[in-house]
Amino acid sequence: MESPENQRTGKKAEENRHVLAFKEEAWERLAELEEALLELENNPSDQDLLDSAFRAMHTIKGSAGMFGFEDIVDFTHNIETVFDCIREGSIEITKDLVALALEAHDQIGKLLNESENPLPEDRETRKEITDAFLNILPESNQEIKVTEEAHHYEKEPETTQKPELSIFRIRFKPTSGIFATGTNPLLILNELKELGECKAIAHAGNITELEQLDPEACYTWWDIILSTRESKNEIQDVFIFLDDSCDIQIDLVDTDSGLDLEDSYKKLGEILIDRGDISHEELQKVIKNKVLLGKQLQNEGLVQPSQVESALEEQKIVRETREKRRKTDSVSSIRVASTKLDKLVDLVGELVTAQARLSQIAVEKEDSTVLSIAEEVERLTAELRDSTMSVRMLTFGTTFNRFKRLVRDLSTELEKDIVLLTNGEETELDKNVIEQLNDPLVHLLRNAADHGIESPEERIAAGKPSQGKIELSASYSGAQVLIKIVDDGYGMDPASIRQKAIDKGLITKESKLSDKDCLFLIFEPGFSTAKEVSNVSGRGVGMDVVKKAIENLRGVVDIDSVIGVGTTITVKLPLTLAIIDGLLVKVHDEFYVIPLAFVEECIELTEQDIKHAHGRNVTNVRGQIVPYVRLREQFNICKQRLPIEQVVITEIEGHRVGFVVDKVVGQHQTVIKNLSRVYKDIDTISGATIMADGTVALIIDINKHLQLVEKEYNAQYGSTVDALH
């Protein structure tokens, strides 16, 4: 029997799991609340946004009460009341109210994170926010208090949200003279089809013999099963002009809100009774015969075949819909700790390495059976790798909302009218990349708002709209993701940036820099174009940190700018940090991996090519001069070089640089391993990977080698790599 101590420990652990689950859900609802509030600021009349904000607030409050977060319940109560009044139309949405609600949103986040002893200043801020919301409330709502029962047993409020999916049974019986009014029943059926998935069964049992048939009379009526996301009122609107020329009956038989939790549905007889086609007594008489109900009812003349068909169709549609809903609910998402995902990715990486060794052994043994097994393992490993990587992928849109809030607050602080436009929310990136990318993007957006966008007066004087625009977009480019921050502001003046760099001692007057190189000076430590220090910028800290952070993600950053038009900053990142496609090369007995995303082509380097370069480490590639780095020299491999070497041409930040190797082996699936701290000062290597035979291949850091080439050329020839092009 389990001891009382173990029982208490287990109960405490279970409570902690529930609290963690509540907090995770609360953060999701807070994100929804923030998104709705930011949209409401621009679209105050949008009822759906208002309902979304109210539901998020109400869910947070209700869940907080269940888990004992009374401070959150008390704080959100009056805010929720204000939003309820807005929904009723007694309070109007203003920018000040939205700003106050956003402050409340931030305080709820603090309440979720803080310990049992909150900071005095936070308590004071929450009191001021509560008082501000109370002042907004109409007098009739001022004395509403939160009771203990309300915390735990508050009823879910009604909302104007339509059911997600509803199934209606519609009986449409036109009068025989409906044609005389100019109405075509088939057009009514077509209009119903526009509301959703529609199944109509015609009942033609009233049609008389041909000699007695009136060609101007309507003898047919219909039972219609409609699966729709629209309300009953909107269905009634289809028949709004037919009140006097038909009999209409509309019944709701199923909805996602759960009229019946079972997957099954009513039996045939029950449906016919509901419709009024037969009585309960008639059904009981037929059931006693133990014959198929539909067949027996038709034999008795109680119903027409079309009525049975219609009832069976309703039964089928509702059952299928409920089954689909059940399956959808059963495959809903689950929460998994990120550490477990990281461990899974590590294990998949080990499996990829083991699979490569198995494939190599199979080739060496020349055993068809082993080779067949190795190929099957390779296929399964590739599928497992792709599936595992997809689990860690998150849509980039998950971070967009926080940036909208950032730009909104900056707009207020800088007294500028700025709007953030987003595009490519569906683009996916590795979870770890997104997390580490947050701070660099914050710096870039702050700089765009502060340095890029002009004041409203300056924009109008320049013939621009008073409102400045910053566009944040994400898109795929091969094995990379491109993230762009585009503003329509001042633009960057290369000459001004150059002079600023000279004044700060970052370069000399004799330095020969292209316009592009001048733009990249903003990434130098200590560089800033701000005329004075503010809360936003001006201290010369930020852009160098941005570049370093992006390089740590094995990405690159590029800049394009036109004076008076605006600036575009492009960040190129790998899809994942765990496994990449690389180009395996060899120098003497050592193997190296060059990230394939940067490789443009491979060419030969002969003794004749070296003589034509007159002592410089450059080669001519179809009329373009490309500098190169000898990996043999970089890593002090003191062996005689081959008469014909290979040059791997790479492109980064608009520059091309080559890597001279002995041999290009081919494409290699690279599982990245971090190097020991012993190698922390070797910045030209970004990691290592384990080969199929167990040996280690180093992964070349293209960014660092490019910087090395630039420094060498600046020191020897007083010009940059770009000047050679």
Least reliable range by pLDDT among 17-26, 53-62, 202-211, 485-494? 17-26
Work out the pLDDT band at 486, boundaries 50, 70, 90: very high
Q: What is the pLDDT of residue 680?
A: 67
Q: Mind listing the pLDDT tens digit for each residue in 617-670? A: 888 888 888 888 888 888 888 777 888 899 999 887 677 889 999 999 888 877
Mean pLDDT, range 118-137, rounded to an integer: 81
Neighbours of 261 (CB within 10 A): 7
Contacts of 96 (CB under 8 A, 6+ apart): none
Band of residue 243 on the pLDDT scale cut at 50, 70, 90: low
What pLDDT does 488 receive? 92
The pLDDT value given to residue 162? 46
Q: Note the pLDDT of residue 101.
A: 85
d(CA 221, CA 247): 10
- 515-540: average pLDDT: 67
The strand pairing partners of 599, in sequence order, are: 650
Q: Answer yes or no: is pLDDT of 147 > 50.
A: no
DSSP β-bridge partners for residue 687: 699
Query: What is the SS3 string spanning 400-448?
Result: HHHHHHHHHHHHHHCCCCEEEEEECCCCEEEHHHHHHHHHHHHHHHHHH
CB atoms within 10 A of CB 99: 15
Q: How far apart are CA 584 and CA 596, in angstroms?
A: 9
| Calpha distance 538→334 (Å, rounded) | 45
Can you give the pLDDT at residue 666?
A: 86
pLDDT per position as a tens digit, 420-438: 998 988 888 888 888 888 8
Predicted pLDDT of residue 468 = 92
Tokens of 678: 């012993």
Query: What does the DSSP 8-state code read for residue 523?
Result: G
What's the rounded mean pLDDT across residues 430-451? Answer: 86
Query: Nearest CA to 75 among 108, 50, 97?
Result: 108
Task: Give the pLDDT band of residue 538 (cuts 50, 70, 90).
Answer: very low
Separation CA 60–CA 39 (nearest Å): 20
For residue 34, pLDDT beyond 60: yes
Structure tokens at 268: 């045939």
Tokens of 646: 């290979």
Alpha-carbon distance of 517 to 520, in angstroms, equals 5
Give pLDDT, residue 457: 92
Mean pLDDT of 573-597: 83
Identify which has the larger pLDDT, 305 or 229.
229
238/190 Cα distance (integer angstroms): 10
Q: Is 99's pLDDT higher than 50? A: yes
Q: Which two tokens stand for residue 534?
A: 């503010």
Through-space distance between the first and last CA atoms of the chain, rounded to whole angstroms: 80
Rounded CA-CA distance 377/400 in Å is 40
Among residues 515, 513, 597, the alpha carbon closest in space to that of 556 is found at 597
pLDDT computed for residue 568 by the predictor:
93
- Exposed (0-12), middle (13-18) or buried (19+): which is 547, by Cβ within 10 Å? buried
- pLDDT for residue 291: 55
Question: Tell me, what's the pLDDT at 725?
Answer: 39
Whether 717 has a pLDDT exceeding 70, the answer reads no
**171 vs 221: CA distance, rounded Å:** 8
Higher pLDDT, 664 or 144: 664
| 77-98 average pLDDT score | 83
Q: How far is CA 371 from CA 377, 384, 433, 666, 692, in A?
A: 10, 20, 37, 21, 15
Report the relative pairing of strands 418-423 and 468-477 from DSSP bridges: parallel
- Please report the sign of the dihedral spanned by the C-alpha atoms of residue 84, residue 85, residue 88, residue 94: negative
Is the pLDDT assigned to residue 539 strictly greater than 50?
A: no
- Residue indicated by tokens 């575009």: 568
CB 214 within 8 A of CB 150: no
Count Cα atoms within 13 angstroms, Cβ side, for 178: 23
- Domain positions in the chain are 4-153, 166-328, 338-391, 396-574, 579-724
Residue 313 reports pLDDT greater than 60: yes
Highest-pLDDT range among 259-273, 316-330, 661-675:
661-675
The alpha-carbon radius of gyration of the chain (Å, integer) is: 35
Facing residues of 127 across strands?
Answer: none
Tokens of 130: 């509560």
Q: Which residues contact 339 (CB under 8 A, 6 or more apart)?
A: none
Per the prediction, the chain carries an average pLDDT of: 78
CATH T-level topology, domain 579-724: SH3 type barrels. (2.30.30)
What is the distance between the alpha carbons of residues 507 and 522, in angstroms, rounded to a whole number? Answer: 12
pLDDT band at 460 (very low <50, low <70, confident <90, very high): very high
For domain 4-153, say whether CATH 1.20.120.160 is its number: yes
Dump pLDDT digits (tens) for 282-298: 776 666 555 566 666 76
> What pLDDT, on a 0 to 100 scale, did the predictor assign at position 485?
93
Q: Looking up tokens 């930011």, which residue turns up? A: 38
CATH architecture of 396-574: 2-Layer Sandwich (3.30)
* CA 108/CA 53 separation, integer angstroms: 14
Helices (H), 207-337: 232-238, 268-275, 280-287, 293-299, 305-330
Q: What whole-number percentage of the chain has pLDDT above 90?
A: 8
Q: What is the reported pTM?
A: 0.58
Q: Which long-range contacts (CB under 8 A, 24 or more apart) does 136-144 make?
A: 136/82, 136/91, 136/97, 137/78, 137/81, 137/82, 137/85, 137/91, 138/85, 138/90, 138/91, 141/81, 141/85, 144/77, 144/78, 144/81
Those residues whose C-beta lies under 8 Å from the C-beta of residue 292, and which sit 6 or more positions away, are none
Can you read off the two tokens belonging to residue 533?
């220090």
Encoded tokens for 327: 């399956």
Phi, psi (5° rounding) for residue 288? -65, -25
DSSP state letters, 582-642: EEEEEETTEEEEEEGGGEEEEEEE-HHHHHHTTTSSEEEETTEEEEEEEHHHHTT--SPPP
**pLDDT for 204 beyond 60:** yes
Q: Calculate mean pLDDT across residues 121-130.
A: 83
Strand pairing category for 624-630 and 663-671: unpaired
Joined tokens for residue 573: 């990142």
Most confident region among 538-542, 621-625, 670-674 by mean pLDDT: 621-625
Mean pLDDT in residue range 157-186: 74
